[in-house]
Amino acid sequence: MHNIVYLYAELQPSTINVIRELLKIKDVKIFVVHWDNNKLAPYMTPAIKNVVYINRSEFCAGTLYRKIIEINPSIIYTSGWMDGAYLSVCKKIKGNLDIPIIAGSDTKWKGGKQWINVIASPIKHRRCFTHIHVAGIWQYEYARRLGFSESKILMHNLSADVSILERVKIEHKMNNYPRKLLFIGRFYPVKGLKFLVDAWDKIENKNEWVLTLVGSGPEKEMLLKHSAIEVKNFMSQEQLVFEFQDAGCFILPSIEEPWGVVLHEAAAAGLPILSSNICGAVPYFVMNNYNGITFPPGNVEQIKIALEKIINSEDVDLLEMSHNSRKLSQRITPEIVARTLLSVL
């Protein structure tokens, strides 16, 4: 049996999807160190056989290092380089054990302050990690600048739970296509909800469409005051299947979004997709005039135009876009992510 150690920030369903797949593929035991304080989303980690959760708050760098040495892992996977203790542990282990130490990254290359990391990479990133596992092509650009060779860059580290989302039956929408526009995510300014609401308000004839927002965050009270919008609480993946089933289109108006697993989820659920063009997952799961429409972030007029194209579309065209989304969703799956991770053994 191989032991795998995850050194993670805040756990999300996408991470659990891959962990479940790892357990299916190989005889492994997985130890997950994760941030347990000041969480941004109310996600509860599920109990899974051969998965041990370890609270990050219980360890400093020294005690965490000793704990990992006791575990004797075959692979260490860390969610980036934002945790100083994780970096310290990885650097020390890299100097003492001959095992793959993989950094996950969903950070896009933007330049600017990132050049500091490029300069520091020989004494920071490459002293701590043997490989880097990136979300997509925009993240690959950053990994190359950090000095990781092509053979040390693993592609696609994030995936929606494609199997559960395929429970959404596109064919059930044929005779009564749902007039619901759906957003799922955190209610934070970075998600661009203010621009979405402003665009929605500008549409005079909504053609019986409604806007539903699912999530939690500091903008919730503001959104609840808007009588023309339906606001729902954070939901589990199983509950979201029903929301996707009742929806006719998905929208992600973020003004900053390194990746956006929710775009993959919407594609797997077979929804037409509207998205700002800065979301990292767009090149994989949103294709203009095939399964969706993209628009510049924060541009109320362009969001309004995209919304009107959807609400004025014929059902047959929306259904075609739905099927096209599901085709695109197969570009990445939890199995592909898990097998990519195990390929370093």
User: What local confidence, expressed as pLDDT, does residue 16 receive?
Assistant: 92
Query: Are 181 and 299 in a shared domain?
Result: yes
What rounded mean pLDDT belongs to the chain? 95
Residue 85 Rama label (left phi>0; alpha psi -120 to 50; beta): alpha
Q: Which residues pair with 295 in a beta bridge?
A: 276
Query: Are 117 and 190 in a shared domain?
Result: no
Q: Which domain holds residue 106?
A: 2-160+332-342
- The CATH number linked to 147 is 3.40.50.2000
Model pTM score: 0.93
Rounded Cα distance between 257 and 277, Å, is 10
For residue range 90-138, what is the model confidence (pLDDT) as tens digits? 999 998 899 999 999 999 999 999 999 999 999 999 999 999 999 999 9
pLDDT, average across residues 239-267: 97
Query: Are 146 and 170 in a shared domain?
Result: no
Q: Where are the alpha helices (DSSP H) in the chain?
A: 13-25, 61-71, 84-96, 114-120, 125-128, 137-145, 162-165, 193-202, 220-224, 237-245, 261-268, 282-285, 300-311, 315-329, 334-342
| Total of domains in the chain | 2
pLDDT classification of 227: cutoffs 50, 70, 90: confident
Query: Are 101 and 211 in a shared domain?
Result: no
- Contact criterion met (CB below 8 Å) for 338 and 18: yes
Query: Are 121 and 257 in a shared domain?
Result: no
pLDDT classification of 12: cutoffs 50, 70, 90: confident
Is a pLDDT exceeding 70 seen at residue 43?
no
Query: Are 81 and 129 in a shared domain?
Result: yes
In a 3-state reduction of DSSP, which class is residue 185? strand
Is a pLDDT exceeding 70 seen at residue 73?
yes
Query: Are 109 and 222 in a shared domain?
Result: no
User: What local confidence, expressed as pLDDT, does residue 1 receive?
Assistant: 85
Query: Are 243 and 290 in a shared domain?
Result: yes
Query: Are 224 and 188 in a shared domain?
Result: yes
Q: Which residue did the predictor score with more confidence, 96 or 32?
A: 32
pLDDT, average across residues 195-210: 96
User: What local confidence, expressed as pLDDT, does residue 42 receive?
Assistant: 62
Query: Are 12 and 147 in a shared domain?
Result: yes
User: What local confidence, expressed as pLDDT, does residue 228 receive?
Assistant: 84
